Amino acid sequence: MKEFKHFINGNFVTSKQTFDNFCPANGRYLGVVYEGLESEVDLAAEAAHAALRGPWGKFSLDERVSILNKIADEITRRFDDFVEAEMADTGQPRSVMEHAFIPRAAANFRIFSDVIKSVPNESFMTDTPDGAGALNYTRRAPKGVIGVICPWNAPLLLMTWKVAPALACGNTVIVKPSEETPATATLLGEVMQAVGLPDGVYNVVHGKGEKSAGAFITAHPKVDAITFTGETRTGTSIMKAAAPGMRDVSFELGGKNAGIVFADCDFDKAIDSFVRSVFLNCGQVCLGTERVYVERSIFTRFVNTLADRARALKPGDFNDKSTTLGPLISPQHKEKVLSYYRRAVEEGANIVTGGDVMEMEGEWVGGNWVQPTIWTGLPETASVVQEEIFGPCCHIAPFDKEDEVIEFANASEYGLSTTIWTSDLSRAHRLAAAIEVGITWVNSWFLRDLRTAFGGSKQSGIGREGGVHSLEFYTELRNICIKL
Ligand code: NAD
Ligand code: 6OD
């Protein structure tokens, strides 16, 4: 039996309470997870605090850069272990793990080692009445102990997207992986031991949210700032928990992203891209497209072609390289997605394809499978068009005018990302300026340059991470004024 232990102060440790971990693709028991409560969070906070004043606090920039690169190397060396662990935890296909999610973890450490090495600090020469002047310059100091609260949908990618810049800037971290996906954060503890990261710099406390490790970390007075990826509702609770002590927060939250397809686009490339943006990771991608708007002249062709491609997706064995569809993360999430499938019918949707559970065979019967689903015919006010479902589904609506589709895209409380398909570059620029999101992709989707600002507008987030933007959150900028 596998045990998912906490990693505190450089050691793997257990605690009294436990919960079980299951594979979402087949319901197989994966092992026992130790649940961290107040005492484990206290130990991790003490260790993380002490490490700031210990050897880690004295690491030179070069030493930090060197250890970040060693972490990336060690993740790459243990690539297969990470792939296996994350496949079992999420049930998602090997191809997604091997080509996207696991390589990104190593890339996250490399990019922030580059950023921290090359970022300049500002300086000003200031005039003074005596004519001698003054020199102002800035230094970046680590913020301290960072609480890192993670979701389950791309566990290692999203966790290292926060841990790498936090360490690059000289902070220490207490990570709480999602209770659904404890494996890769634990494995990363082994990586940290192997590369010789000082004790207490990287800590993992497993557990749940309310009345568990999540709430105890975010409320802990020794946690100086909190970075969180997850649901907007959870973000609201965490913001309240962060208020005492005026702790800073960085949030990557939910989305209800619009995709916009003009008749002049490269149709085949657009379809390929929407197969990914709607169904990748079984639709459990915050950047995924759940609202698609298609110019009326190609609407029927687009709907039928995407539906054919949805029906051709191959669910099942995540180890099989030809598998293209994974399961939902949990029975609870499956029930949530199916409740939207039922609601779509109640709200008057036309079901183009899907709309039900996926009948599976053999060992996969025990997994959380639902059909890839496409609806048309709903009004923009329908809850299925307004609320984040986080499943393999989308609603497709026709549009006639550019202004009209901008209005549709912006009629959302969320503002994470959009994908626009057109060969008219002027139009692409106009739409990109008008749509209220943090990230716009034109003729592409989820094409990442890790130096760019990543984050959401409206209820999709607070702050930006990526490249130098991560330093805004993970460091405290100090100004020094020297009278000459
Ligand atoms: P979630 O909010 O349910 O849980 C995320 C984490 O928060 C988990 O570790 C959970 O245990 C913890 N948590 C829950 N309640 C807490 C509390 N009161 N205090 C402290 N911690 C608490 O999210 P999820 O279901 O794991 O992830 C899916 C959501 O994440 C979707 O809404 C998706 O859009 C969003 N997401 C956003 C981005 C982005 O970049 N904007 C990226 C990935 C996922
Ligand atoms: O690519 C990233 O940096 C990122 N944060 C992706 C988020 C994916 C959400 O599911």
Q: Which two tokens stand for residue 22?
A: 């299951």
Is residue 41 within 8 A of residue 28, CB to CB? The reply is no
Give, in order, the Cα–Cα distances in Å from 262 to each of 158, 398, 474.
32, 10, 40
Taking the CA atoms of 298, 300, 306 and 312 in sequence, report the sign of the dihedral they define: negative
Which atom belonging to ligand 2 lies closest to the Cα atom of 448?
A: 1
Judge whether residue 377 has pLDDT over 80. Answer: yes
List the CATH code of the domain at 2-253+460-483: 3.40.605.10
C-beta 159 within 6 A of ligand 2: no
C-beta 216 within 6 A of ligand 1: no
C-beta 416 within 6 A of ligand 2: no
At 2-57, the pLDDT tens digits run: 999 999 999 999 999 999 999 999 999 999 999 999 999 999 999 999 999 999 99
Judge whether residue 1 has pLDDT over 80. Answer: no
C-beta 358 within 6 A of ligand 1: no
Is residue 173 within 8 A of residue 166, CB to CB? The reply is yes
Grouping H, G, I as helix, E, B as strand and the rest as coil, residue 296 is: helix
C-beta 152 within 6 A of ligand 1: yes
Q: Is the pTM of this model over 0.85?
A: yes
Q: Which of 350, 369, 349 shows the shortest CA–CA distance to 359?
A: 369
Residue nearest to atom 30 of ligand 1 (CA): 230
Residues 6+ apart with CB under 8 A from 149: 176, 214, 217, 218, 226, 227, 228, 229, 230, 238
Q: How far, in Å, from the CA of 28 to the mean position of ligand 1?
A: 24
Q: How far, in Å, from the CA of 389 to the mean position of ligand 1?
A: 14
Percent of the chain whose pLDDT exceeds 70: 100
The whole-angstrom separation of Cα 448 and Cα 159 is: 16
At 390-449, the pLDDT tens digits run: 999 999 999 999 999 999 999 999 999 999 999 999 999 999 999 999 999 999 999 999
At 197-212, the pLDDT tens digits run: 999 999 999 999 999 9
Give, in order, the Cα–Cα distances in Å from 231 to each of 238, 242, 443, 473.
11, 16, 28, 20
Q: How far, in Å, from the CA of 445 to the mean position of ligand 1?
A: 22
| Burial of 108 from C-beta contacts in 10 A (0-12 / 13-18 / 19+) | buried
Q: Which of 160, 208, 202 shows the shortest CA–CA distance to 52?
A: 202
Pocket test for ligand 2, best of 149, 286, 446, 452 (most atoms within 8 A of CB): 286
At 129-187, the pLDDT tens digits run: 999 999 999 999 999 999 999 999 999 999 999 999 999 999 999 999 999 999 999 99
- pLDDT category of residue 90 using cuts at 50, 70 and 90: very high
Domain edges within the chain: 2-253+460-483, 257-449
CATH superfamily, region 257-449: Aldehyde Dehydrogenase; Chain A, domain 2 (3.40.309.10)
Taking the CA atoms of 439, 440, 444 and 449 in sequence, report the sign of the dihedral they define: negative
C-beta 285 within 6 A of ligand 2: yes
Catalytic site positions:
252
Pocket test for ligand 1, best of 35, 149, 439 (most atoms within 8 A of CB): 149
